[in-house]
């Protein structure tokens, strides 16, 4: 199993190339166009919308509750910085996905619709370019998070495979319990592993309520992502121009759909399922971690698939604005 995992890790390393999602920046800034009255009102609405749709928002605290459950499995076996890394990556990945589907893509959709209605307005096309850049930067920030997430999961899986670490921590915890409490002869006759498992899985009513509230909040957020995504006009329709028809816009639609599916699997399925396995269930825990790494690698594949068509769109609108042509 160890050799198989090393081979898979080697394959992943060969496949993983740190791609820069953002294209080369234009040689000079986009030309500023005087704001019209309608633009000022729209920007005011955008600012108000941004304040109410802060990335992550109230769900950040609820996500922390779920991440603590993962730490419980490895509190004595894994290295502290590995636990900090997995919490860091998942928190920031959640925040970026939230921003992408609740704000960046919907805002781009709005401006692309206005560009279709008013093909000759420079300020509208400038805004399309800026919002394409916002989507691009979001993907660019998510890629290293997924790389780090996959790497730290490999470290946790190695910890699960190291039986010496687990057996030693079992014995150390039992010794500590015996030193702190007086137990009867009946208690001493009980197998240590069972006693440890019973101690670890007990949760207070407050903890159970907090967990249920956290899962419900995340599920609500996933439904919001799906709702916003379903309302988006496909890229092939947003930018239905002869000059853009061959730019792989269908790949963008597919990529953002798969990204949403992977995010839903991570935050709506895998993380909540850590609650239903016991700390001593190494095989079940390992399966959840493998699923998590698979979804992370799937997201990395979509970043690569979206690179070329998104770059082409950005360059098209940058060149059109520079030349004053939007045909």
| 27-40 per-position pLDDT tens digit | 333 434 434 434 54
Domain boundaries, the chain: 57-170+206-323
Local structure of 255: helix, strand or coil: helix
Task: Report the distance separating Cα 186 and Cα 203, nearest Å.
Answer: 24
Question: What are 266-287's pLDDT values in tens digits?
Answer: 999 999 998 887 667 788 888 9
Which helix (H) or strand (E) covers residue 254, if one does? helix 249-265
pLDDT in tens, the chain (327 residues): 555 555 555 555 554 444 444 444 433 334 344 344 345 444 544 444 444 455 555 578 889 888 887 777 676 666 888 888 999 999 999 999 999 999 999 999 999 999 888 877 888 888 999 999 999 999 999 999 999 999 999 988 888 776 555 444 444 444 444 444 444 444 445 444 433 333 344 567 777 888 888 999 999 999 999 999 999 999 988 887 755 656 688 899 999 999 999 999 999 999 999 888 766 778 888 899 999 999 999 999 999 999 999 998 998 888 766 665 544
Task: Report the distance separating Cα 67 and Cα 70, nearest Å.
Answer: 5
For residue 270, which of 160, 158, 163, 153 has the smallest C-alpha distance?
Answer: 153
Return the ∠ at Cα 102 (arms to 152 and 58), rounded to 5°: 70
Which 8-state DSSP code applies to residue 27? Answer: S
Task: Report the distance separating Cα 292 and Cα 14, nearest Å.
Answer: 20
pTM: 0.74
């Amino acid at each position: 199993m160890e050799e198989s995992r090393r081979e898979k890790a080697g394959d992943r390393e060969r496949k993983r190339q740190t791609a820069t999602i953002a294209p080369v920046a234009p040689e000079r800034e986009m030309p500023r166009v005087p704001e019209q009255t309608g633009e000022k009102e729209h920007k005011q609405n955008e600012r108000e919308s941004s304040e109410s749709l802060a990335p992550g928002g109230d769900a950040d605290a609820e996500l922390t509750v779920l991440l603590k459950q993962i730490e419980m499995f490895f509190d004595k076996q894994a290295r502290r910085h590995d636990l900090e890394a997995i919490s860091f990556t998942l928190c920031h990945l959640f925040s970026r996905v939230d921003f992408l589907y609740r704000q960046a893509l919907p805002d781009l959709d709005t401006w692309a619709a206005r560009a279709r209605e008013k093909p000759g307005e420079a300020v509208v096309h400038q805004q399309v370019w800026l919002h394409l850049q916002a989507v691009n930067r979001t993907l660019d920030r998510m890629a290293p998070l997924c790389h780090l997430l996959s790497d730290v999961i490999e470290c946790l899986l190695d910890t699960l495979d190291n039986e010496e670490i687990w057996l030693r921590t079992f014995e150390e915890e039992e010794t500590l319990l015996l030193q702190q409490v007086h137990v009867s002869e009946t208690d001493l006759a009980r197998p240590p592993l069972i006693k440890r498992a019973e101690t670890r899985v007990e949760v207070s009513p407050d903890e159970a309520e907090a967990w249920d509230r956290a899962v419900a909040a995340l599920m609500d957020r996933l439904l919001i992502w799906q709702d916003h995504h379903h309302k988006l006009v496909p890229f092939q329709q947003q930018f239905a121009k002869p000059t853009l028809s061959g730019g792989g816009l269908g790949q963008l639609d597919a990529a953002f759909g798969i990204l949403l599916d992977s995010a839903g699997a991570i935050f709506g399925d895998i993380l909540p399922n850590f609650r239903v396995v016991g700390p001593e269930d190494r095989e079940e825990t390992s399966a959840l971690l493998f699923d998590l790494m698979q979804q992370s690698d799937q997201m990395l594949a979509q970043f690569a698939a979206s690179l070329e068509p998104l770059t082409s769109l950005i360059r098209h609108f940058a060149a059109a604005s520079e030349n004053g042509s939007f045909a």
